[in-house]
Structure 1
Amino acid sequence: MEKPSQPYIRDLDFRGIVEGLTYIDKKAQPLCHYFGGIPYALPPVGPFRWQKPRPLPPCYRYGTHANPGVFTGACGVCPQSQWWTQPNDGSLFDENCLQVNIWIPAGDSPRAGWPVLFWIHGGFLQFGNANDLDARALLNETACKAIIVTPGHRLNLFGFLASSELRDSSPGYAANVGFWDQRKALEWTWQNISYFGGDPSSITIGGYSAGSHSTFHQLAYDLGVSDSKSIVRRALMLSNGPGLQPKSFEEAQLQFNEFLEALQIPLDTSASEKLAKLHTLDAKTLIKAVEKMKYHEFRATTDGEFVRHGLMNEIDNGTFARQMKRRGVKLIMGECRDEHFVYGSWRPPKNSFEGLFRRLQADYPLADCKALVEYYYPNQKLPAGCKDWPDAFGRIYADIQIHHLERGFANALVRHGAGNLIFRYRIEWRAQCCDQMFPKVWGVTHGTDMVIWLWGSGLQLSKKEKVIAKNSFIDNLAKFLNGEELDWGTKHPLGIRTLTPGGKVVCEVDNRMEESLRVWEILRRARATNLPISASL
């Protein structure tokens, strides 16, 4: 789609002068301003693979009056498998992806500055990029007048490679560097957004799917720092919920060993030699090795630093709720009706019980996988209502990623007195423009509601659909970003604001809670059992 624009110059004070774009309409009226690919940290390349992001030096300047820094492009895209994304030769991939895109409303900012939405992209933490968002219509046509910051960060093996032997013997190595990247981008936003007209005291962090998963972990980290370092004031967790403590370093070592074997790196070499060899290999070789692996999902590890030991227990014992209450952090979270269709399409298992069990182990700790399959498939038989095991996988994956654990999380917050801080929703309506991306038979599947939250984000809502999106959630989203009271309509904190198939809003009791709490309890017990690492049932 053509995006008519004209240059936009901004003085960032001691950071220098930058040139971005002002997007304009057919009458040359401004829609919004945009800067693309602004570095927030030094490149994580060469010897800095798998190290925490390095801050820009105090003397760093983006440009001068004579030579403004030109940021009219986009963030670098972390190398990734093309299992889901459009095939290409990989020329768009760049390990130097620690940049942000910034969208700014047109017009004068409020005296305190525009509120800020720090938006993390989705993609299972394995793929995706910060460049897919198109905020022109959202910022120009709706009441959502906020600066939107979308960070690039390291994904898959580049962002979440973990190993107990690297932890113990490789100085500089860190786990969860993808999360550390996000945090560094958030800190950069907090420190610099005022130069773009933003209010650093009014930052909402949010995301969809893996972006929502990341939002939870960023919120958890932020709740664990001192008040003087706290950044997050509100959170949007769209279609993802917490409840599983990430794998330990010991379980992550199994994945690391498989990774080495796929690359034909001997396991009996020293940790320093293994790391040195991994540094010599190009990104394409590393990605190709992952595509052969059983443990092919690189996700968070419980490192005791970014991801605290016992983080899920903090939810159960009220620590998480108490800190949210003390900080006054409000949260919108919810789901789509048919999440499982998309979830069942992401690297589906072979058509057998064993295939499903193996596939779950790519994502989750073994104790959790055992507990789940024993509950869902007690006789290792395909459940009624599932056409095959890949279909069963999509449904259990959606339950654990979203439906059940979102409810368990909400229940724990309410039980510990933070119910006034949460706003829950359910989407059962689908806009026609979603047909360009998702099969009609998938219904209101994972991602179809993005056209509501992001006002199309490049797709075109009809006039009638815009009214539905505005009245159901967009007006409330604008209030949320501004820190105002919402017209949510629910009578109980565990109630749900539902957008029905006909496009009407109803506020209802959540009749799906009982099953979700049963699964939440099963996983809580699995954490406590500390089962040995063995892939047999």
Structure 2
Amino acid sequence: MKEPSKPYLRDLSFRGFIEGLTYLDTNSKPLAHFFGGIPYALPPVGPFRWQKPRPLPACYRYGTRANPGRYTGNCSLCPQPTQENKLDDEFWDEDCLQCNIWVPTGDPPKGGWPVLFWIHGGFLQWGTARDEDLTAMLSETACKAIVVMPAYRLNVFGFLASSELYRSSSSEYSTNVGFWDQRMALEWTWQNINYFDGDASNITIAGYSAGSHSTFHQLAYDLGVPDSKAIIKRALMLSNGPGLQPKSLDEAQEQFNELLKELRIPLTTSVTEKLGRLRKLDPKTLLKATMRMDLHQFRAVTDGSFVRHDLLHEIDSGVFAQRMQRRGIKLLIGECRDEHSVYGTWRPPKNTFASLQTRLHADYPLSAVEVFLAHYCPDGKLPTNCRNWKDAFGRIYADLQVHHLERGMVNALVRHGAGALVYRYRIEWRAKCCDDWLPKEWGVTHGSDQRPIWLWGSGLALSGEEKDIIRHAFHENLARFVNGEELDWGTSHTLRIRTLKPDGSVKIEEDSRLEEGVKVWDLLKKVGATGHPTAAAKL
């Protein structure tokens, strides 16, 4: 952070004392308080690699009054590739189950500050909360909330899956540990945020890209627990949707076997020895092996534990809507106009249909890949709106992660009576600062709104005119949303969209892509819910 600062001491009661920073303006006026790298679980290292996160013991103390725990730096960085698919291990640390916390200055409202639990994105393969600067948002806007930004395990460290490991009672292994990390951080927030003057009964979960996809899965999990353990009051899903029902454990075994082959671990080795050898490998060796694989994307699997077998059926049948209605959970969800420009850059296929199919299978169940490729590329032909197969990949990937399945989900919520809980948006405007890292020809692409709009610049330079546009279009309503207030959204029906137009104006529009989105959703329903033998019949 570039702003001047001074130490900020916080008493966490039985958890002890911590020291963070208060960031100041040039006149020494406080802008925001910050704590970086506060542990929310024990280190997932050594024999605990690929196990569920372990909660901090009851006796755990962050520090004393005389010697407070100093959290003035940042959360650790889970080992990961860069956005350019390279390996830079300068800040890597598997001991990454920590969070950064931003707190408004001044006296909190009665009951405490609302809480925004923000999950970073990065395709679940990379990403961090380390780079955000919320001093401007907390000091210049009406969005006064405590923002908790957790780090969590990514890629092979967070989402290694194997049916043989899962079924081995002696393996001490769990699936979807990246999602379990997020849940642990959310529970830690619920249990401890009052020590930061936060309101534990007013938590909004939010995320961008894979953080939005994670938000969906955290919401789905929370809707499945008893009311006494429910945490989430509302959800903010930015530029990502529910995605497909994740691969089954049996299909994930194919990826696991490919990893073993790349690491020259014999498939005939016992399950216990396979896991032991994998745990002894250094992070760079593991990641290098994944980068050589065809099935290189490590994502969630349908395990019947964190991810239920019939999860998408719950959405389509109305179960999801009924649970949201019963708890009054509101959802703000939307997209950018040109999501595909960035999506097409992440490990793109070679310029062939076969390569496209292999690349998509790295993310999705093969049965689903075959269904949507038959829709997009009948007879293996390049779609007419695509320049080449890389362009086709970006557009299909963006449709599946954002445009179409988001619409399928929203349409199902509306069909089952939960439309009043949903607010939709679309962004067609781009801030000037985006030109520093996104080519102009990419348009209003994935990520062009995350920091400039939703995080009020997050350290980027916004002009006064741009701030007026952002405030009017979304930020005033964002403040109302996290406070649990009614929004001035302007739509007369949930299937209409609040759109920020290229000239900075706001218009309420019909959804021109709704019909196509629902069509793709319905096609994918025919595949059945992965891992559940009766799901196809239900759908």
Normalising by structure 2, report the TM-score. 0.97
Query: Helix, strand or coil: the match of 2:36?
Result: strand
Query: Structure 1 CA distance, aligned partners of 2:328 and 2:82?
Result: 41
Contact residue 24 and residue 32 of structure 1 kept, 8 A: yes
Query: Helix, strand or coil: the match of 1:379?
Result: helix
Residue equivalent to 1:125: 124
Q: Does 1:107 align with 2:106?
A: yes
Measured at CA, do residues 380 and 417 of structure 1 come closer, stay the same or move farther in structure 2, by a change above 3 Å? same
Measured at CA, do residues 531 and 142 of structure 1 come closer, stay the same or move farther in structure 2, by a change above 3 Å? closer
Deviations 1:308-330 (A, max 9, x none): 01000000100000000000000
Query: Structure 2 CA distance, aligned partners of 1:84 and 1:272?
Result: 35
Residue equivalent to 1:535: none
Q: Which runs of 4+ in 1 moved over 3 A?
A: 528-532
- How much does 1:82 deviate? 2.7
Q: Does 1:433 align with 2:428?
A: no
Measured at CA, do residues 89 and 486 of structure 1 come closer, stay the same or move farther in structure 2, by a change above 3 Å? closer
Query: Helix, strand or coil: the match of 2:215?
Result: helix
Query: Structure 1 CA distance, aligned partners of 2:200 and 2:531?
Result: 42
Q: Does 1:506 align with 2:512?
A: no
Contact residue 433 and residue 460 of structure 1 kept, 8 A: yes
Residue equivalent to 1:413: 413
Query: Structure 2 CA distance, aligned partners of 1:530 and 1:248?
Result: 5
- How much does 1:437 deviate? 1.4
Residue equivalent to 2:491: 490
Residue equivalent to 1:144: 143
TM alignment of 1:329-340, pairs within 5 A? 329-340=329-340
Deviations 1:456-477 (A, max 9, x none): 1111110000000000000000
Residue equivalent to 2:468: 467
TM alignment of 1:18-417, pairs within 5 A? 18-84=18-84, 89-169=88-168, 170-417=170-417
Query: Helix, strand or coil: the match of 1:134?
Result: coil
Contact residue 105 and residue 147 of structure 1 kept, 8 A: yes
Measured at CA, do residues 3 and 288 of structure 1 come closer, stay the same or move farther in structure 2, by a change above 3 Å? same
Q: Does 1:520 align with 2:521?
A: yes
Contact residue 81 and residue 87 of structure 2 kept, 8 A: no
- How much does 1:84 deviate? 2.7
Query: Helix, strand or coil: the match of 1:411?
Result: helix
Deviations 1:311-365 (A, max 9, x none): 0000010000000000000000000000000000000000000111110000000
Which stretch of structure 1 is more off in the superposition, 89-98 or 230-239?
Answer: 89-98
Deviations 1:243-279 (A, max 9, x none): 4110000000000000000101000111111001101
- How much does 1:385 deviate? 2.1
- How much does 1:531 deviate? 12
- How much does 1:91 deviate? 2.4
Contact residue 367 and residue 530 of structure 1 kept, 8 A: no
Unaligned runs of 5+ in 2: 534-539
Query: Structure 2 CA distance, aligned partners of 1:112 and 1:493?
Result: 31
Query: Helix, strand or coil: the match of 2:201?
Result: strand
Contact residue 243 and residue 408 of structure 1 kept, 8 A: no
Unaligned runs of 5+ in 1: 533-537
Contact residue 245 and residue 530 of structure 2 kept, 8 A: no
Residue equivalent to 2:536: none
Query: Structure 2 CA distance, aligned partners of 1:145 and 1:516?
Result: 35
Contact residue 382 and residue 388 of structure 1 kept, 8 A: yes
Deviations 1:421-473 (A, max 9, x none): 00000000000001111000001000111111110111111000000000000
- How much does 1:528 deviate? 6.2
Alignment length, in residue pairs? 531
| Residue type at the aligned position of 1:433 | C
Contact residue 152 and residue 182 of structure 2 kept, 8 A: yes
Contact residue 248 and residue 531 of structure 2 kept, 8 A: no
Which stretch of structure 1 is more off in the superposition, 451-460 or 17-26?
Answer: 451-460
Which stretch of structure 1 is more off in the superposition, 27-36 or 522-531?
Answer: 522-531
Query: Structure 2 CA distance, aligned partners of 1:253 and 1:278?
Result: 15
